[in-house]
Amino acid sequence: MNRLMLINGPNLNLLGTREPGIYGSHTLQDVVAEVKHVTDDFGYDLEDYQSNHEGAMVDKIQEAGRTCSGIILNAAAYTHTSIAIRDAIASIPVPVIEVHISNIHTREEFRHHSMLASVCKAQIVGLGIKGYRYAALALLEK
């Protein structure tokens, strides 16, 4: 399947205006464009999805498990709380790379732990929206 899935979780629809000192001034549209450059280069399709709802994200992860060869996932706040998203990742055969724009390990203590990291292929943090590009490259380069 020549297709990647990009999933962004709660409040990432507000990128650009949301706490710009932490998340920068790039918008979600910029994030999608960043990844699309890479998928285009490799002749892959990109599906992008954003939701503020945990169950909807679980549904999308399950769907991507059937239709895509990899997932780039910023589960935002659900990273730190969601066993349901963790179980969805563990249930599918395709690699998932966890991305965070900020460095969650240098922020508040409650952000240090990811419920998802141990079922993901890798975690990329603190590199701003470039992290999404590196995740796409990691999934596509042979």
User: Residues annotated as binding site for substrate?
Assistant: 74, 80, 87, 101-102, 111
CA dist 111 and 94 (Å) reads 25
CA distances from 4 to 22, 81, 137 (A): 27, 25, 11
Pick the catalytic residue from 23, 49, 78, 132: 23
Q: Specify whether the CB–CB gap between 11 and 115 falls below 8 A.
A: no
* Least distance (Å) between residue 111 CB and ligand DQA: 4
> Is 23 labeled as catalytic in the residue annotation?
yes
CA dist 86 and 54 (Å) reads 11
Q: Which of 126, 124, 128 lies closest to 116, judged by CA?
A: 124
| Chain residues that interact with ligand DQA, rule: CB under 6 A | 11, 74, 76-77, 79, 100-102, 104, 111
Question: By C-beta, is 60 or 100 nearer to ligand DQA?
Answer: 100
Pick the catalytic residue from 44, 78, 100, 132: 100
Collapsing DSSP to helix, strand or coil, 88 comes out as helix
CB burial of residue 10 (10 Å; 0-12, 13-18, 19+): middle
> Is 49 labeled as catalytic in the residue annotation?
no
Residues with catalytic function: 23, 100
